């Protein structure tokens, strides 16, 4: 019931915003957002990037966005609506839009699509994502240094490879500092529900975790950690406002340069289907300032960031040991292959939990 | 022991908005009106409640803003569904859609701001009693108010003449009308009460639960409150059981995950819904047979003049 109602709501909302786009001979660029632009997390960062795009190329393009578009079949209608409104380049900004985007892309071969964080492509559909696990590795180092209890709390959204590789990168890094470090993982099974995220943070802290990490979108966990005098990492966005004495750092999604580059390519007629997976060296994401930690920890973090950016340090350097103690087959030479990271469905050694569905 | 206390505290906080919103909807439905707009009224209550508290620095004023906002939203519903006799289901759904949009607009100005959350009661000596101290004497005012509210509603519905008349409107509006009771006026008041409660429940989220406003922060709690009323077979006592059970399983499944019980998290996330439905259905089967819904629920009433 709730789903269909939300869909209905989304349908009406988008009917409103699409008609707002006025006709002109400018290139029309569309965006599909998962949450509200004011979510202070994932969608907010995409919106900031869109604004940067408008600032840079505003005289040549016209942008439209649809917010609160549920993943799944409703997304297809939303995307198609953008196509019909004349958008020639459409960014669909969540994993769950993958199949809907592909379907619409096949139907409209003359429109170009850019899908975030997915793995399905077509001749008119690119994908783009970030190597967030690199940031998670840095967070793992900091967390292990800063935790007094030796227990980290991790709020997951859904057990998909992107989240699992983040947990693994965190633990691989943390174990280099403290081999006995523990992590407690709670899956919220939602990307966005501030109340539930807060409940998960409370549960983790009540169970002894003193550094909270999250892979959900709202600043609720940061706020709870701040209330309880613990430490936490932000997610997607700068969340230090919700924990001035709590936030250690945050992985900041910085999509702006990528959006500008792709729209420029579209304007020049040089756009082609690509798979962009940017790391710290590509400016697809950045680390928020390292705060609330002593200088030596800050230095460890900065050194790791420099080494990763320079390509000298890889979080998934072989050998990577799985939960069962067996070495994971190394398909990428010295490191795990990109494909193995993008499809990661196992926990590394040292995580005493079962991956849901395994 | 400390963990038990912490869990109970989290459960009470998680259950309170559901209980308040469901209490309001229970009264509305007992008067024979089905208002599906709870989610919409809640989210507007959340936006206005946060706005009020942020502007004035007072949680109480925030709560009042939430109540007023919810009531105003419910008046829109009353005008359509009662005044103009529009289909109640459609009107309620429209109200939710309106609320979600409106709250984003109202809240746009203070997204990213934060306030000091509602204070928790602190009675030296009593609040420090191990285990029960913080649970009984260390909650925020909303928690105590929600319990007083549901007791008051129970008393009103079953122990006062006015409550009897309200239920009569819900069970047979033609008879109530024939007896000379102003059915539409009574229903309007019941709808307004439902709106006030939904607004307050929504305001609880940014005022006490997570002290900031984000569009969509009610995340479906209004729908859960609606479902609770049905599964509680429109009885206040069962509503309390349902709301706390839902909150308890929600929190416990999070803890169970942290302990590494090894049950798939997707199942755990579904557990609060499953447990609440099963328990309340069993409860209603055990005592009474047949439908317990107000007989005139959701039906349009146009008095003959």
Phi-psi region of A357 (alpha: psi -120 to 50; beta: other; left: phi over 0): left
Q: Which residues pair with A154 in a beta bridge?
A: A185, A213
Residue A164 sits at the chain B interface (C-beta within 8 Å): no
Cα nearest neighbour of A243 on chain B: B114
pLDDT confidence of residue B264: 84
Q: What is the pLDDT along chain B (305 residues), one digit of tens a residue?
A: 688 888 999 999 999 999 999 999 999 999 999 999 999 999 999 999 999 999 999 999 999 999 999 999 999 999 999 999 999 999 999 999 999 989 989 998 888 888 888 888 888 888 888 778 888 888 899 999 999 999 999 999 999 999 999 999 999 999 999 999 999 999 999 999 999 999 999 999 999 999 999 888 998 999 999 999 988 889 999 999 999 999 999 999 999 988 887 788 888 888 898 888 888 788 777 666 556 789 999 888 888 75
**Listed range (A32-46, A155-169, B5-19, B68-82) with the worst mean pLDDT:** A32-46
Contact B251 A203 (CB under 8 A): yes
Strand partners, A64: A30
Collect all residues of chain B within an 8 Å Cβ-Cβ radius of residue A149: none
- The end-to-end CA distance of chain B, in Å, is 65
- The reply to whether B269 touches chain A by the CB within 8 Å rule is yes
The pLDDT score that the predictor gives to residue B175 is 93
State whether B258 and A186 contact (CB < 8 Å).
yes
pLDDT of residue B290: 53
- pLDDT class for A12, splitting at 50, 70, 90? very low
H or E stretch including A234?
strand A231-236
> Using the 8-state DSSP alphabet, how is residue A228 labeled?
T
Cα angle, residue B204 at apex, residues B199 and B205 outer, rounded to 5°: 105
Q: Which of B206, B128, B160 is nearest to B30 (CA)?
A: B160
Residue A18: per-residue pLDDT: 44
ipTM above 0.90, yes or no: no
Distance from C-alpha of B149 to C-alpha of B63, rounded to nearest angstrom:
15
Q: Which of A44, A195, A196 to mutate to test the interface with B (most CBs of B within 10 A)?
A: A195
Q: Minimal Cα–Cα distance from B177 to chain A, Å?
A: 34
| Cβ-contact B144, B123 below 8 angstroms | no
Beta bridge partners of A173: none
Q: Quick one: which of A349, A318, A348 has its CA closest to A335?
A: A318
Distance separating the N- and C-terminal Cα atoms of chain A: 30
Structure tokens at B215: 């569009």
Q: Find the DSSP H helices in chain A.
A: 2-19, 42-57, 73-84, 98-107, 132-146, 161-177, 194-206, 220-227, 256-268, 295-309, 338-342
Peptide bond into A319 cis (omega under 30): yes
Say if CB B196 and CB B24 are below 8 A apart. yes
**pLDDT tens, residue by residue, A82-136:** 999 999 999 999 989 999 999 999 999 999 999 998 889 999 999 999 999 999 9
A196 in reach of chain B (CB within 8 A): yes
Residue A281 has what DSSP assignment? G
Pairing of strands A285-287, A247-253: antiparallel
Give me the residues of A, 241-270, that contact B with CB < 8 A: 241-242
CB distance from B272 to chain A under 8 Å? no
Query: What's the mean per-residue pLDDT of chain A?
Result: 90
Residue A9 has pLDDT above 90, yes or no: no
CA of A201: which chain B residue's CA is closest? Answer: B254
Q: How far is A310 from chain B (nearest CA, A)?
A: 35
Q: Round to whole Å and give the CA distance between A22 and B188.
A: 43
Sheet holding A182-187, edge to edge: A182-187, A151-156, A211-214, A231-236, A247-253, A285-287
- CA–CA gap between residue B230 and residue A255 (Å, rounded): 46
Only one residue has tokens 């900041």, namely A252
User: Bridge partners of A287?
Assistant: A251
Residue of chain B nearest A10, judged by CA positions: B97
* pLDDT at site B291: 60
- Measured CA to CA, the distance from residue B267 to residue A90 in angstroms comes to 35
B265, A356: Cβ pair inside 8 Å? Answer: yes
Is the CB of A238 inside 8 Å of chain B's CB atoms?
A: no
- Is A202 within 8 Å of B257 when comparing Cβ atoms? no
A192 band by pLDDT with thresholds 50, 70 and 90: confident
| pLDDT of A293 over the 50 cut | yes
Tell me if chain B has a CB within 8 Å of the CB of A39: yes
Best residue in B107, B208, B216 for a mutation probing chain A (most A CBs within 10 Å): B216
Residues of A in contact with B114 (CB under 8 A): 223, 241-242
SS3 track for B171-228: HCHHHHHHCCCCHHHHHHHHHHHHHHHHHHHHHHHHHHHCCECCCCCCCCHHHHHHHH
Q: Is B1 on the interface with A (CB under 8 A)?
A: no
Which residues touch B275 (CB under 8 Å, ≥6 apart)? Answer: B245, B246, B249
Residue A154, min C-alpha distance to chain B (Å)? 9
Three-state SS string over chain B comes to CHHHHHHHHHHHHHHHHHHHHHHHHHHHHHCCCCCCCHHHHHHHHHHHHHHHHHHHCCHHHHHHHHHHHHHHHHHHHHHHHHHCCCCHHHHHHHHHHHHHHHHHHHHHHHCCCECCCCCECCCCCCCCCCCCHHHHHCCEHHHHHHHHHHHHHHHHHHHCHHHHHHHHHHHCHHHHHHCCCCHHHHHHHHHHHHHHHHHHHHHHHHHHHCCECCCCCCCCHHHHHHHHHHHCCCCHHHHHHHHHHHHHHHHHHHHHHHHCCCCCHHHHHHHHHHHHHHHHHHHHHHHCCCCCCCCCCCCCCCCCC
Distance from CA of A48 to the nearest CA of B (A): 14
Q: Which residues, numbered 37 to 96 in chain B, qualify as contacts with chain A under a Cβ-Cβ cut-off of 8 Å?
A: 93, 96
Residue A130 Ramachandran class (φ > 0 left, ψ -120 to 50 alpha, else beta) = beta
Q: What average pLDDT score do residues A142-157 get?
A: 96
For residues B184 and B205, give the distance between their C-alpha atoms in angstroms, rounded to a whole number.
32
Instruction: Tell me the three state secondary structure of residue A4.
Output: helix
Please report the pLDDT score of residue B292 as a whole number: 77
CB–CB of B11/B152 below 8 Å? no
Pairwise CB contact (< 8 Å): A186 & B216: no
A38 vs B: CB within 8 A: yes
Give the residue from B120, B230, B215, B38 showing the smallest Cα distance to A38.
B215
pLDDT at B133: 81
Look at A193 and B223 and tell me if their CB atoms are within 8 Å: no
* pLDDT score recorded for residue A115: 96
Cα B112-B118-B122 angle, rounded to 5 deg: 145
Would residue A325 be called left, alpha or beta, if left means φ above 0 and alpha means ψ between -120 and 50 degrees? left
- Smallest CA–CA separation between B256 and chain A, in Å? 9
Instruction: Please state the pTM of the whole predicted model.
Output: 0.87
Residue A297, classed as helix, strand or coil, is: helix
- A22 has pLDDT over 50: no
∠ CA A182-A185-A191, rounded to 5°: 150
User: Per the structure block, which two tokens stand in for B172?
Assistant: 């047979």
Residue of chain A with shortest Cα separation from B90? A5
Helix, coil or strand: residue A263: helix
* Min Cα separation B155/chain A (Å): 31
User: At what angle are helices B236-259 and A194-206 packed, to 10 degrees?
Assistant: 60
> In this predicted structure, what is the pLDDT of residue B289?
54
**Banded pLDDT at A1 (limits 50, 70, 90):** very low
- Please tell me the predicted confidence (pLDDT) of residue B1: 67
Q: Report residue A92 as tokens.
A: 């669909």
Taking the C-alpha atoms of residue B258 and residue B243, their distance in angstroms, rounded to an integer, is: 23
Chain B residues lying within 8 Å of A38, measured CB to CB: 104, 107-108, 111-112, 214-215
CB–CB contact A184 B111 (8 Å): no
């Amino acid at each position: 019931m709730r789903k269909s109602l939300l869909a209905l709501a989304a349908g009406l909302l988008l009917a409103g915003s699409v008609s707002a786009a006025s006709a002109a001979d400018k290139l029309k660029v569309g965006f599909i957002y998962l949450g509200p632009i004011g979510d202070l997390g994932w969608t907010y960062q995409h919106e900031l990037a869109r604004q940067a795009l408008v600032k840079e190329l505003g005289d040549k393009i016209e942008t439209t966005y649809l917010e609160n578009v549920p993943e799944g079949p409703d997304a297809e209608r939303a995307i198609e609506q953008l196509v019909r409104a004349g958008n020639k380049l459409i960014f669909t900004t969540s994993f769950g839009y993958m199949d809907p985007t592909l379907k619409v892309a096949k139907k409209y071969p003359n429109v170009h699509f850019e899908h975030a964080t997915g793995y399905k492509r077509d001749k008119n559909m690119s994908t783009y994502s970030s190597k967030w696990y690199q940031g998670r590795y840095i967070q793992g180092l900091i967390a292990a240094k800063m935790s007094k209890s030796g227990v980290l709390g991790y709020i997951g959204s859904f057990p998909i490879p992107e989240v699992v590789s983040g947990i693994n990168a965190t633990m691989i890094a943390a174990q280099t500092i403290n081999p006995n470090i523990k992590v407690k993982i709670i899956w919220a099974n939602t990307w966005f529900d501030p109340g539930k995220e807060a409940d998960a943070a409370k549960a983790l802290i009540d169970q002894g975790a003193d550094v909270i990490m999250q892979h959900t979108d709202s600043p609720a966990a940061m706020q709870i950690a701040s209330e309880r005098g613990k430490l936490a990492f932000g997610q997607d966005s700068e969340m230090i406002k919700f924990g001035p004495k709590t936030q250690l750092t945050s992985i900041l999604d910085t999509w702006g340069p990528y959006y500008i580059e792709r729209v420029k390519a579209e304007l020049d007629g040089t756009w082609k289907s690509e798979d962009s997976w940017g790391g710290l060296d590509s400016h697809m994401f950045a680390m928020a300032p390292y705060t609330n930690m002593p200088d030596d920890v800050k230095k460890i973090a900065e050194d790791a960031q420099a080494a990763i950016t320079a390509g000298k340090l890889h979080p998934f350097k072989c050998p990577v040991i799985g939960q069962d103690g067996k070495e994971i087959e190394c398909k990428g030479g010295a490191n795990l292959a990109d494909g193995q990271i993008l499809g990661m469905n196992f926990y590394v050694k040292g995580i005493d939990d079962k991956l849901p569905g395994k | 022991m400390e963990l038990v206390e912490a869990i109970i505290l989290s459960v009470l906080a998680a259950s309170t908005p559901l209980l308040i919103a469901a209490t309001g909807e229970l009264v509305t439905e007992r008067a024979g009106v089905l208002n599906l707009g709870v989610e919409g009224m809640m989210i507007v209550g959340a936006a206005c409640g946060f706005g009020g508290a942020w502007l004035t620095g007072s949680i109480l004023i925030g709560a009042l803003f939430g109540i007023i906002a919810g009531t105003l939203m419910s008046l829109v519903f009353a005008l359509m569904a009662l005044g103009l006799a529009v289909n109640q289901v459609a009107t309620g759904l429209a109200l939710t859609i309106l609320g979600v949009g409106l709250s984003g607009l109202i809240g746009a100005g203070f997204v990213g701001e934060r306030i000091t959350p509602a204070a928790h009661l602190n009675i030296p000596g009593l609040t420090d009693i191990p285990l029960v101290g913080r649970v009984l004497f260390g909650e925020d005012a909303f928690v105590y108010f929600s319990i007083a509210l549901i007791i008051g509603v129970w008393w009103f519905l079953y122990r006062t003449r006015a409550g009897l008349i309200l239920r009569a409107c819900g069970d047979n509006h033609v008879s109530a009308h024939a007896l000379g009771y102003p059915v539409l006026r009574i229903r309007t008041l019941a709808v307004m009460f439902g709106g006030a409660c939904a607004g307050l429940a929504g305001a609880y989220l940014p005022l006490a639960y997570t002290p900031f406003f984000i569009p969509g922060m009610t995340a479906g709690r209004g729908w859960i409150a609606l479902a609770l009323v049905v599964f509680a077979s429109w009885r206040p006592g069962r509503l309390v059981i349902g709301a706390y059970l839902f909150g308890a399983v929600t929190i416990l499944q999070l803890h169970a995950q942290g302990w590494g019980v090894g049950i798939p998290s997707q199942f755990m996330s579904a557990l609060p819904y499953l447990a609440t439905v099963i328990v309340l259905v069993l409860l209603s089967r055990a005592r009474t047979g047949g439908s317990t819904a107000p007989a005139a629920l959701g039906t349009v009433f146009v008095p003959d003049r």
